[in-house]
């Protein structure tokens, strides 16, 4: 009697494998392979379990395909077994299968992020790139950049001032160099000229002494210019970090006047000192230079029979030095510039009296180093008064 095939054998299935096994393990039917060539399935774990208990199942993994095969077996009434199996993807297989779409999605996201970030950053940076560095406050931008614009404007203002100061300093340096060269060349030319005439025997015997006297005078003038330039250079460097000490300005003024006494008598100018002792923290050498230069100028630019009065006053918070003369005076338009280096109100008269044009510059620097203040008032033809104030504290 022939075995009748069950109805499920003709089912149209593609993703499920169906196998029919006889009770002796022979494959009767398989929807994916030829039953005749298939091996005996009696030792398969799911078949053994079905024949013993009526139902069996097992799972077998494929290490090469990253898949697992799930088997379900059911014992039929005639002792045969129907087995159903399907392939299931393992986790690693699912992951590997998703790598390509995930990678593609990541690339798309990165491209979109780059485009969006470039567009946004361009919009953010554009106002910064358009800042007018010469005049930052004129730049139209968002409010968050306003502190930056204010800072840039402040720095630009300081930079402009620094450039102006640098330019002014460079101009002063060039003028100073030119003036020093001129002041040094003048006595040198005179000395070399007189010496050459004497050397060639072109000077009469009775004129040699006057020529020698002129050479001596010019050498004194040359030495004075050099000393004044050296003093001024030291003051520019902060007077070599000189420290103050308890100093009596009246005593300093008395010493300076004694040094100038013979010079004032020679010029026919009366030089007097009045006031009181005034002790404060000062640099003695600089104070002496201040008094000496102010008095020296007052004598040089005075009339014969004129007078120079020096007064020292000791107040509660400050010490005052006043130098008043009855000389030629200074026109008002020159008062603001008299402390400039080599500046002369009357060049012809300055040449006669032998001034270097550096005395008042030295005074100005020395007063500044000691935190003092100097003021000047003058009437043409009547005289000039210099007032120097030193703080006690």
Burial 202-224, CB ≥16 within 10 A → b, else e: ebeeeeeeebeeebeebeebbeb
> H-type helices in the chain, by residue range?
45-53, 91-129, 146-199, 205-236, 249-267, 284-300, 347-353, 359-369
- Report pLDDT for 313: 95
CA atoms of 327 and 214, how far apart (whole Å):
27
CA distance 30 to 50: 18
pLDDT in tens, 254-312: 999 998 999 899 999 999 999 999 999 988 888 988 999 899 999 999 999 999 999 99
DSSP string, 152-202: HHHHHHHHHHHHHHHHHHHHHHHHHHHHHHHHHHHHHHHHHHHHHHHHTT-
Which of 18, 58, 52, 54 has its CA nearest to residue 38?
Answer: 18
What is the structure's pLDDT at 168?
A: 75
Q: Which two tokens stand for residue 265?
A: 């008598």
- Residues in the chain predicted with pLDDT less than 50, given as ranges, are 1, 64-65, 349
Query: Are residues 367 and 373 in contact, defined by beta-carbon separation less than 8 angstroms?
Result: yes
pLDDT value at position 142? 63
DSSP assignment of 29-90 equals: EESSS-GGGSPP-TTSHHHHHHHHHSEEEEEEEETTTTEEEEEEEEE-TTS-EEEEEEEEE-
């Amino acid at each position: 009697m022939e075995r009748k095939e069950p109805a499920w054998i003709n089912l149209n299935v593609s993703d499920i494998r169906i196998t029919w096994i006889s009770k002796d393990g022979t494959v009767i039917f398989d929807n994916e392979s030829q039953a005749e060539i298939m091996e005996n399935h009696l030792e398969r774990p799911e078949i053994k379990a079905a024949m013993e208990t009526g139902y069996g199942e097992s799972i077998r993994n494929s290490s090469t395909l990253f898949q697992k095969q799930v088997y379900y077996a059911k014992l039929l009434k005639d002792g045969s077994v129907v087995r159903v199996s399907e392939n299931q993807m393992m986790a690693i297989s699912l992951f590997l299968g998703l790598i390509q779409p995930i990678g593609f999605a990541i690339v798309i996201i990165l491209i979109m992020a780059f485009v969006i970030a470039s567009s946004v950053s361009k919009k953010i940076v554009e106002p910064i790139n358009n800042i007018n560095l010469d005049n930052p406050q004129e730049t139209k931008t968002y409010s968050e950049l306003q502190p930056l614009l204010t800072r840039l404007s402040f720095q630009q203002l300081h930079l402009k001032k620094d450039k102006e100061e640098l330019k002014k300093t460079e101009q002063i340096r060039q003028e100073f160099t030119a003036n020093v060269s001129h002041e040094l060349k003048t006595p040198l030319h005179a000395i070399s000229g007189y010496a050459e005439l004497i050397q060639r025997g072109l000077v009469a015997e009775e004129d040699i002494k006057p020529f020698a006297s002129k050479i001596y005078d010019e050498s004194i003038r040359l030495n004075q210019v050099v000393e004044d330039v050296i003093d001024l250079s030291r003051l520019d460097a902060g007077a070599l970090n000189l420290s103050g000490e308890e100093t009596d300005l009246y005593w300093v003024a008395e010493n300076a006047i004694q040094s100038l006494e013979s010079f004032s008598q020679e010029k026919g100018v009366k030089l007097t000192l009045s006031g009181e002792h005034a002790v404060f923290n000062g640099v003695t050498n600089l104070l002496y230079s201040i008094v000496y230069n102010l008095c020296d100028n007052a004598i040089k630019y005075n009339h014969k029979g004129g007078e120079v009065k020096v007064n020292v006053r000791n107040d509660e918070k400050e010490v005052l030095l006043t130098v008043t003369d009855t000389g030629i005076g200074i026109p008002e338009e020159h008062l603001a510039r008299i402390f400039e280096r080599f500046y002369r109100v009357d060049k012809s008269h300055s040449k006669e009296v032998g001034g270097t044009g550096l005395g008042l510059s030295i005074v100005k620097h020395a007063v500044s180093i000691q935190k003092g203040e100097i003021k000047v008032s003058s009437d043409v033809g009547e005289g000039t008064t210099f007032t120097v104030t030193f703080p006690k504290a």
